[in-house]
Amino acid sequence: MNLNNLFERLQDGDRVALARAITLVESARPEDKAMAAALVRSALQLQRASVRIGITGIPGVGKSTLIDALGSQLTAEGHRVAVLAIDPSSARSGGSILGDKTRMERLAADPNAFVRPSPSGGTLGGVARRTREAMLLCEAAGYDRILIETVGVGQNEAAVDQLTDLNLLLMIGGAGDSLQGIKRGIMEAADLIAINKTDGGNEQRNQRAAMDLRLAIALLPPRESGHHPDVLLCSAASGNGIARLAEALEHMAQRDMQSGHRLQRRQAQSRWWMRTAIEEALIDGFHADARIRALLPGMEQRVQQGEISPFDAAHELLRLYGHAD
């Protein structure tokens, strides 16, 4: 299948073509890279409307159950839903989130949903980049709601925040411990918080957890949208509160479109991806340089021995590389 043919089929919503295009984007083979770049370029030009939603939370909180329920709600409302994931740990741990499609039974069988496991291996930045490109391909294929799952560990949120329009943080209400184990960065990246598993019959405790969270959130600076995240209750398993959650997300997406925040956010993200690509290329170039490779170990030795300051050493190497006076 040639490039034009593949992109045409992808644009028609052909899932096989989409899956193949994403495989090219994820491939490390040099001969696939040019084709992948051309596909992403074509996808970018289409500029199809979409809402990109990050979904995060600690393992076991119910992310995949919620995505199954929320995604089904969205397809029932006429949307086409793509589910992607960022899970840099998957190569190491062997078990990847979304690796097991049976965890999203309804969506996996839904003709209007497309579920793709996290690209495995590599750095967080590399995985995030490949997920971004997969997302653009999904949008070109007509998927207008993109759900990106990530495990809440702090760093992943920062990467997801460079991809999404809105972030949903999933939590479980516990007796007064709802803030425990949640790092500040995770809360700060959330536009909406949902307390899941509210089907256990402990209504009062869940309401209390929501109240505690709202109080804690009020002390944090607002998101760049100018708003503090709202806190909702839901049960991904029973479906209670899922329609309300979908409605809240749609409302926020509309709000940010109208205020111009959505565009600003996407523009800032594009600048960020460019700067990151420059920095990575510079660093890769530096470490690939033959002189630097020859001199770096010796310079490290000298720095360790205190013969030269770390800054003088860095300056010396950069000067050799041609990046300092």
Q: Which of 50, 51, 53, 62 binds ligand GDP (CB under 6 A)?
A: 62
Least distance in angstroms from the C-beta of 31 to ligand GDP: 36
Task: Give the torsion sign (CA, 190, 53, 268, 156).
Answer: positive
- Distance CA(99)–CA(110), nearest Å, equals 17
Distance of CA 223 to the CA centre of its chain: 17
Least distance in angstroms from the C-beta of 210 to ligand GDP: 15
Closer residue to ligand GDP (CB): 42 or 196: 196
Half-sphere exposure of 49 (CA within 13 A, CB side): 4
Least distance in angstroms from the C-beta of 277 to ligand GDP: 31
- Distance CA(220)–CA(162), nearest Å, equals 20
Nearest-CB residue for ligand GDP: 62
Closer residue to ligand GDP (CB): 64 or 75: 64
Residues numbered 74 to 103 that lie near ligand GDP (CB under 6 A) are: 103
Q: Which of 25, 35, 56, 57 binds ligand GDP (CB under 6 A)?
A: 57
Closer residue to ligand GDP (CB): 52 or 63: 63
Contact stretch for ligand GDP (CB under 6 A) within 117-125, 208-216, 233-241, 276-284:
233-241
Alpha-carbon separation of residue 309 from 184, 219, 287, 298 (angstroms)? 35, 43, 20, 13
Structure tokens at 163: 């991809």
Residues numbered 196 to 215 that lie near ligand GDP (CB under 6 A) are: 196-197, 199
Residue 171: phi and psi, rounded to 5, are -135, 170
Q: Which of 28, 29, 49, 59 binds ligand GDP (CB under 6 A)?
A: 59
71 binding ligand GDP? (CB under 6 A): no
Structure tokens at 42: 């074509």
Tally of CB atoms within 10 A around 141: 26
Least distance in angstroms from the C-beta of 60 to ligand GDP: 5
Q: Which of 140, 236, 249, 252 binds ligand GDP (CB under 6 A)?
A: 236
Q: Which of 3, 91, 237, 292 binds ligand GDP (CB under 6 A)?
A: 237
With H, G, I as helix, E, B as strand and everything else as coil, classify residue 195: strand
Contact stretch for ligand GDP (CB under 6 A) within 3-11, 54-62, 110-118, 177-185:
54-62
173 binding ligand GDP? (CB under 6 A): no
Cβ-proximal residues to 147 (8 Å cutoff; 6+ apart), any chain: 53, 55, 67, 70, 71, 81, 82, 83, 84
Instruction: Give the pairing of strands 113-115 and 81-86.
Output: parallel
Residue 86 per-residue DSSP state: E
308 binding ligand GDP? (CB under 6 A): no
30 binding ligand GDP? (CB under 6 A): no
- Distance CA(233)–CA(192), nearest Å, equals 11
Residue 113 near residue 21 (C-beta atoms within 8 A): no
Closer residue to ligand GDP (CB): 183 or 319: 183
Least distance in angstroms from the C-beta of 178 to ligand GDP: 15
- Distance CA(176)–CA(182), nearest Å, equals 13
Residues that bind ligand GDP (CB under 6 A): 57, 59-65, 103, 196-197, 199, 235-237
